[in-house]
Chains A and B, each alone.
Chain A
Amino acid sequence: MNPSNYLYLSAVLFAIGALGVLVRRNAIVVFMCVELMLNACNLAFVSFSRVHGNLDGQVIAFFVMVVAASEVVVGLAIIMTIFRTRRSASVDEANLLKY
């Protein structure tokens, strides 16, 4: 199978994730969209690794997974504190800081 199809898929996933961050209102969903973007990067790394025939891309994917996991830890903690304070995880309601 042609590896470039996987690259198109990864670009589509990245775009869906980026669009989701911009249009969704729930902080958890926004965060899931960021994770989707990171996984799209992983798919691109692994596909390019196949194209070039070296292992760098696959190793990088493991690093990205670790970073994504630690981002989940910090991100969910921050979203949880906001949710407990405001009883809402909507990013629209976090609007005290402006102008």
Chain B
Amino acid sequence: MSATLAVVGSFEIPTIEYAALAPIMIVMGAAVLAVLVEAFVPQRFRRVTQLVITFASLVGAFAMVVKAGGTSQIVAMGSVAIDGPTLFMQGSILVLAALAALVMAERQVDPSGDSFAPRASALPGSADEQAFTRLGWLQTEIWPLFLFCVGGMLLFPASTDLLTMFVALEVLSLPLYVMVGLARRRRLLSQEAALKYFVLGAFSSAFFLYGTALLYGFAGTVSLTGIANALSASAADSGLVVTGVALLAVGLLFKVGAAPFHQWTPDVYQGSPTSVTGFMAACTKVAAFGALMRVLYVALGGISWDWRPVMYVISALTMIVGTLFALTQTDIKRMLAYSSVAQAGFMLVGVVATSAAGLQGTMVYLLAYGIATVGAFAILTLVRDSTGEASHLSQWAGLGRRSPWVASAFALFLLAFAGIPLTSGFTGKFAVFTAGVAGGATSVVVIGVVASAVAAFFYVRVIVLMFFTEPSAEGGPSVVVPSAFTKSAITISVALTLVIGVLPQLVLNLVGQAGVFVR
């Protein structure tokens, strides 16, 4: 009973740097506003209001990120770091979220409205649901959820203590669980995906939290720099540190979608509404990799010799598992899900390099992968038959002959995933693999190169299917002409994929200026 708690003598007013936190605050404020819009604005004005709020806040936040360029400081009483990598990742998240929002705003593709359930509470197949569909009811509740999610994503890679990181993790995850379950069609699959994502996500965040508790027990603080200082001060490896780091890594690697914590990915990607899949595949990955790298580099950089071998294995395993399972898929959405697992493995090569080049290569890869992902899933929403999206591989046979433009855009995104030169994917892969070799992870890079060669097979298989196979006799799915929303999303994605591929120096200079994490 000798330990006495520190008595708080005087209350110190916290200083909050509002200007540096503006991107997060704008998006969060817009999310609160969007909730109020749902409550008070008449139904027929809600969509326009929500779209204005969403896009205005994303553009405003992006402008604040650009304006903050060059700052490198820790703000909000040591909880949030606004440095080059944070700003680059926040900018990437905002661009990708805006592209994904364009796809979500689409209302011309599905004949009965948009891609979200008119009333999520109505039982699938019930008379209620049919009545809602017949009356043409549409909901706009997806927008506040979307904005809260983006707000959490902006905070996640910026947080410099594990508590802020945990709160940001939950703020980004909880709305996603709901969004996953809101599909208009194939609602049983959608609800099942939401259940699986929720149970596994909550399970993994409990691991993250227990890891935080053990590291707090070791260091007496949850701030990343505090943990780094405690690690460098202590001579012996403590059991608390090893267990704590392992549990923390489980939580982060789950969000990243790395093997062996990737099992939720295919089910959730397949079950959720396709526009939401594109959003979470692209943006969650950026946010989660940002947080993972900050923890590994800032807090655990001093003991990198202990965690690097484990991360080597995880990176190699993720590439192998993702590639092999993607080979056997017959559903395009599921194939892209396994491909995203493999891509996470390629990005981990940059992470295990534990160098500035590795950090910057991973950031380039994240942006390149995110843009191609949003574009690819946007195209998936357009290929439809009478029951909804036609995602079975055989239904895409001969698509290139009927809709050459759409098929060419999809082929470009697949080539970017495969890392073919003159696409953004090559820039990203080249950056992480060179960083990996320079960082001494040559064996992992070799596995990565072999895995990319194997992965190229299943990407090219889809291209061959679209362009060089006869379409099936009974017609098959048709490509719907979307409104300007999806059109612009796909056009911008194609343009950015080509620009980053042909002129990689633009984005490489940008990450070069971003520098490294502030400590």
Task: Please report A residues at the B interface, Cβ cutoff 8 Å.
Answer: 1, 3, 7, 10, 14, 17-18, 21, 27, 30-31, 34, 37-38, 40-41, 44-45, 47-57, 60, 63-64, 67, 70-71, 74-75, 77-79, 81-82, 84-86, 91, 94-98
Report the Cα distance A18→B187, complex, angstroms: 29
Complex contact A74–B209 (CB within 8 A): no
Collect the chain A residues with CB atoms within 8 Å of residue B213's CB.
10, 41, 44-45, 48, 57
Q: Is B178's CB under 8 angstroms from A48's CB?
A: no
Q: Which of B1-59 contact A (CB under 8 A)?
A: 1, 3-6, 8
Complex formed: what's the CA distance from A96 to B267 in Å? 9
Q: Which listed residue, A48, A53, A64, A70, touches B6 by the CB 8 Å rule?
A: A53
Asked if A44 and B167 sit within 8 Å, CB to CB, the answer is no
Q: Is the CB of B191 within 8 A of A78?
A: yes
**Which residues of chain B are near A7, meaning CB under 8 Å?**
217
Q: Chain B CB within 10 Å — which of A18, A53, A78 has the most?
A: A78
Question: Quick one: which of A21, A52, A56, A79 contacts B195, CB cutoff 8 A?
Answer: A79
Query: Which residues of B are in contact with A by a Cβ distance under 8 Å?
Result: 1, 3-6, 8, 120-121, 123-124, 163, 166-167, 170, 174, 177-178, 181, 187-189, 191-196, 198-199, 202-203, 206-207, 209-210, 212-214, 216-217, 220-222, 266-267, 270-271
Can you show 20 pairs from A to B with CB atoms below 8 A apart? A10-B213, A17-B206, A27-B195, A41-B210, A41-B213, A45-B213, A45-B216, A48-B216, A48-B217, A50-B3, A50-B5, A53-B4, A60-B212, A60-B222, A71-B174, A74-B177, A74-B178, A82-B195, A85-B187, A91-B199
Who on chain B is nearest to A66 by CB? B167
Residues in B neighbouring A82, C-beta threshold 8 A: 191-192, 194-195
| Chain B residues within 8 Å of A56, by CB | 216, 220-222
Nearest CB in chain B: distance from A77 CB, A: 7
- Of A53, A86, A91, A97, the most chain B CB neighbours within 10 A belong to A97
Q: Are A37 and B210 in contact (CB under 8 A)?
A: yes
Known: A40-B210, A77-B178. A94 touches B196 (CB 8 A): yes
A70 partner residues in chain B, CB cutoff 8 A? 170, 174
- Is there an interface contact between A34 and B170, defined as CB atoms closer than 8 Å? no
User: Given A37-B210, A77-B178, are A55 and B6 also a contact pair (CB < 8 Å)?
Assistant: yes
Residues of A within 8 A of B214 (CB): 44
Residues of B within 8 A of A40 (CB): 210
Query: Which residue from A21, A55, A96 sits with its C-beta under 8 Å from B8?
Result: A55
